[in-house]
Chains A and B, each alone.
Chain A
Amino acid sequence: MAYLTGYQYYENGGFPPEDANWGSYQYVSLADIVNNFLLMYQGNHEIINNVNRYKILFHAKRAIQELNYDAFKEIKALELNVCDNLRFVLPPDYVNWVRISVYKNGVLFPLSENIQINGAEAYLQDNDCRILFDADGNILKPDSSTIDMQRITGAKKSIYLNSNSIYNGSEGYNDNGTWYFDFQIGARFGLNTETANANPTFRIDKKGGVINFSSGVAGELVILEYVSDGMEGGDDSLVTVNKLFEEYVYASIAHDILNSRFGIQEYIVNRYRKRRSALLKNAKIRISNINPSRLLMNLRGRDKLIK
């Protein structure tokens, strides 16, 4: 891809959208990666020869996908309003979540993933608990299971210390100036920090493609931070790689091709494996932006007294 003039960069040459090229210099396009690989790493005098372009394209995309899952640290964020069904449909390019927060009163409240399930499928049963079928032999199912319905209506109790906690509203008694709270089984000692969170909770139904929240989220703005695979909805012309990872992608393509080819000596495969691994480590360190001044800022807090 040719270098841009200042006018092209800042104002896209006068064409909308104006911001089309902002920040583009950080990235190298997939087209450049494939083209450069064909030019420089494949040919009559190279270790890799007679390889179809679609194989290079495949391995390049796979390398970019893997980088997007963690090393790139390119977190996407989506804000949606959650309605009474307490459901947040996952975005079309969703692969995995990073953090889910409620945006309320100008503050982001990170939510905890519920360690228990909060929804289930259900089958219709008769009074003898026998499962009911239709005329075609298919199992009959209700619109919602009981646990789903109770979660949506707010009747479901929570093990978390929020407004739906099973302890919320439980009565205690005062004996000689000390309050005691006896619960269902035994007394409560200490605090389970895993569930000691007053915010609502969520659980992701991956196959269903939705995030199911506990009842406190209805009507709230929820922000999902997530990672994608960088494939830009299948538009190859938009797929890019941060330049810090460019050399790694070449090494990864070369390794993947050599690793799957018949008759390549093991020492060559190992050489490329080591090169790929070293380049990935270098790129991760670079993109982490670890530098002395940043470390110094952290270290300045080391002697602060904890009050």
Chain B
Amino acid sequence: MVSINDVRETVLAICNKNNYGYISPDDFNLYAKQAQLDIFNEYMNQYNYYINLENQHTSGSDLADLAEGVREEIEMFISSATLTYDATSTGIYSSFNAPDNWYHINVLTYTGGTSPAEIAKGSKLDITRLANSNLTAPTTTYPMYVMSEEASPNRPNGTVSVIPNDIQGTDVECVYMRYPVDPYWGYQNLLNGEPIFDPSSPDTQDFEISEEEESRLVDKILEKAGLSIREPEVYKAAQMNDNQQQ
């Protein structure tokens, strides 16, 4: 966790020269959310890059195991949930509501059989061929699912369509990667023209990514603030720092 107040103070200290580069709390919260998402989205590319380094034998182990470091960061966002069955689903699929705030579904498990069965991901483009094949047709032993962003009143988070359709009820467990919670610098009303940080506000939310990313967070917020206040020096310096740290 990175303290949002620490980041805001650092950003303002760099940016707010003679009250020229002041960033309002609402603007800061918007930049903070985007900065966290930028870093979060880079995790997967970084992980892939480090895995490739390992396969080329150019990455070490223990402290030099870069992939493991990124993996730990990613695993901070792994959650699990029981999916909610949509009783109105028809056809060859059983439809479930996707988990709240999901970024990537890692593992779906059918728990209604004699032993838990992993539900493998498939593509809607292939599912007809798969279902028509004797050897690969999805069964309760080897079930499959397809994802779609399609939302409905019963499936507001998106649709997980499981095949065969006799998998229903509360028998589907999901392990998934979620988006980080949006950071929020909660504050009290202005006092002498200056908002005061309120750590006890129910809206206050620190950054979820790890502390080692604090300086990158500052740089990314500065990039956006520099653009906002049309200050090329801030933007360029922040971008250069950010690139060096990647």
Report which A residues bind B (CB closer than 8 A): 1, 31, 34, 44-45, 52-54, 57-58, 61-62, 231, 234, 236-237
A58 contacts across to B, CB distance below 8 A: 133, 135-136
A236 touches B55 (CB 8 A): no
Count class of interface residues, chain B: 20 to 34
B114 contacts across to A, CB distance below 8 A: 237
Shortest CB-to-CB span from A30 to chain B, Å, is: 8
A44 contacts across to B, CB distance below 8 A: 51, 54-55
A1 contacts across to B, CB distance below 8 A: 115
Which 8 pairs across A and B sit closest by C-beta, in order of nearness? A53-B120, A236-B141, A54-B136, A44-B51, A61-B135, A237-B141, A58-B135, A58-B136
Shortest CB-to-CB span from A66 to chain B, Å, is: 13
B141 contacts across to A, CB distance below 8 A: 31, 236-237
Question: Is B142 interfacial (CB 8 A cutoff)?
Answer: yes
- Assembly CA distance A44 to B54 (angstroms): 9
Of the listed residues B118, B130, B135, the one surrounded by the most CB atoms of chain A closer than 10 A to its CB is: B135
Shortest CB-to-CB span from B47 to chain A, Å, is: 9
A57 touches B134 (CB 8 A): no
- Assembly CA distance A249 to B113 (angstroms): 25
- Assembly CA distance A52 to B122 (angstroms): 8
A236 touches B142 (CB 8 A): yes
A sample of 12 inter-chain contacts (CB < 8 A) reads A31-B141, A34-B142, A44-B51, A44-B54, A53-B142, A54-B120, A54-B122, A57-B142, A58-B135, A58-B136, A234-B139, A237-B141
B112-160 contacts to A, CB under 8 A, are 113-115, 117-118, 120-122, 130, 133-136, 139, 141-142, 144
- Assembly CA distance A236 to B110 (angstroms): 15
Shortest CB-to-CB span from B186 to chain A, Å, is: 41
A54 touches B130 (CB 8 A): yes
B118 contacts across to A, CB distance below 8 A: 53
Shortest CB-to-CB span from B70 to chain A, Å, is: 12
Report which B residues bind A (CB closer than 8 A): 51, 54-55, 113-115, 117-118, 120-122, 130, 133-136, 139, 141-142, 144
- Chain B interface, DSSP helix/strand/loop, else mixed: loop
- Assembly CA distance A231 to B142 (angstroms): 14
B139 touches A54 (CB 8 A): no
Nearest residue, chain B, Cβ from A55:
B136
- Chain A interface, DSSP helix/strand/loop, else mixed: helix
The 8 Å CB contact of B139, one of A34, A45, A52, A236, is: A236
- Assembly CA distance A206 to B236 (angstroms): 78
B55 contacts across to A, CB distance below 8 A: 44-45
B136 touches A57 (CB 8 A): yes
B130 contacts across to A, CB distance below 8 A: 54
- Assembly CA distance A237 to B142 (angstroms): 9
B115 contacts across to A, CB distance below 8 A: 1, 31
- Assembly CA distance A249 to B119 (angstroms): 22
B139 contacts across to A, CB distance below 8 A: 234, 236
A31 contacts across to B, CB distance below 8 A: 115, 117, 141
Nearest residue, chain B, Cβ from A2:
B115
Given contacts A61-B135, A62-B135, contact A54 B51 (CB under 8 A): no
B135 touches A57 (CB 8 A): yes
Shortest CB-to-CB span from B75 to chain A, Å, is: 15
Nearest residue, chain B, Cβ from A1:
B115
- Assembly CA distance A44 to B70 (angstroms): 14
A34 contacts across to B, CB distance below 8 A: 142
Given contacts A234-B134, A236-B139, contact A54 B144 (CB under 8 A): yes
A234 contacts across to B, CB distance below 8 A: 134, 139
- 10 extra A-B contacts, CB within 8 A, seeds A31-B115, A31-B141: A34-B142, A45-B54, A52-B120, A52-B121, A54-B120, A58-B135, A61-B135, A231-B135, A236-B141, A237-B141
- Assembly CA distance A191 to B135 (angstroms): 49
- Assembly CA distance A44 to B51 (angstroms): 7
Nearest residue, chain A, Cβ from B113:
A237
